[in-house]
Structure 1
Amino acid sequence: MLKDYVNGAPPYLNNFVTGDETCLYYYDVRSRRKNQKSIRKKMILVFLTVGILTRIVLESQRTVTASCYITECLTQVVKQLKKLRPRSGMDTWYFHHDNARPHAARLMQGFLENAGLKLLAQPPYSPDLAPCDFGLFPLVKDKLKGRKFRTDEELLAAWDQACAELPESKWQDIFNDQ
């Protein structure tokens, strides 16, 4: 895939779906000297194309398992992809995620195969290559630092607002810089 980038972004970049999970804290101090975060946090999974395809919020203390990943996440991703391009087959999409156990499970790989999505393999023992981790998450979390949120709704609304404020050029940068 990296060879395709030699002459600029490959044409299939608009058919690329990537996802990853992160925790949002109800309070995360802005100062780098103090490593103080609230105990309360919310786990979200975000799937991107060039922009957010879908954001999935997990119930408190929910662990991401292969079954959970399929039923609560990937089924929504497939539904959104079909809605985005109703006339395209699923085999036009390239799907990428890291090698976390739920992502590498046979059950999940079978689901992707049955759905028709092509999986871009993550090299074993390599650093995470997901654009979420190096692009989206740090940008948005930086905007949330120093703010206190009382409810899930406040926290998620702030997340959504911070994402909405990212200019379109930044979305391209998130993919092109990876």
Structure 2
Amino acid sequence: MLLKYSKADSRRHSEVITGDETWVYFYDMQTKQQSSKWIFEDEVSDPIPKRFMAVNKRMLAIFFTTRGLLEFVMLSAKHTVTAAWYTECCLPKVFQAVETLRPKSGIRGMKFHHDNAPAHTQPEVAKSLLGNQA
């Protein structure tokens, strides 16, 4: 992709949408001060339960252009990216964000750059991308 655009003007770079997924971890940690409590000298303190680092985690798909953040889509709890989710839930939100960004031309002429994860390389993803360029 860099070779393709190296001889073109910099305006062509603004036509690229980059997307990827990552896990987002939610933490619920107490500091030592928050978990401390006053006790009398003759009292036995309650044991402090072991705290887990990640209380929850969710998959986040995020898309950027040269202008910055375009769109992000959070998956439901305990779900991962599939081709069906990518084409039915994620890409429509990205297409809508592009329509807002480029009301006259929309997604036409835009290039999607994402990794070769199985959910991205399925035929229905390509059909979804090509079908929305009209």
Tell me the TM-score range normalised by the shorter chain: 0.7 to 0.9
Q: 1:97 deviation in Å? A: 0.6
Alignment gaps of 5+ in structure 1: 30-35, 118-178
Alignment correspondent of 1:112: 129
Shift of residue 90, structure 1, vs aligned partner? 2.3
More strand by share: 2
Taking structure 1 as reference, are residues 13 and 58 closer, same or farther at Cα in structure 2, changes over 3 Å only? same
Runs of 4+ that moved beyond 6 A = none
RMSD: 2.6
Asked if the contact 2:98/2:106 (under 8 Å) is kept, the reply is no
How do 1:74-153 residues align onto structure 2 when only pairs under 5 Å count?
Answer: 74-116=91-133
Higher helix share: 1
> Is the 1:15–1:49 Cα contact (8 Å) retained in structure 2?
yes
Identical aligned residues as a percent: 35
Identify which of 38, 42, 57 aligns with 1:41. Answer: 57
- Considering only CA atoms, is the larger Rg found in Structure 1 or Structure 2? 2
Q: Deviations over 1:61-116 (max 9, x none)?
A: 11211110011110111111011110114222111111101100001111111112
The equivalent residue for 2:14 is: 14
Q: How many equivalent residue pairs?
A: 111
Unpaired stretches in structure 2, ≥5 consecutive residues: 30-51
TM-score by length of 2: 0.72
Q: Within 5 Å, give how 1:46-61 maps onto structure 2.
A: 46-50=62-66, 51-61=68-78
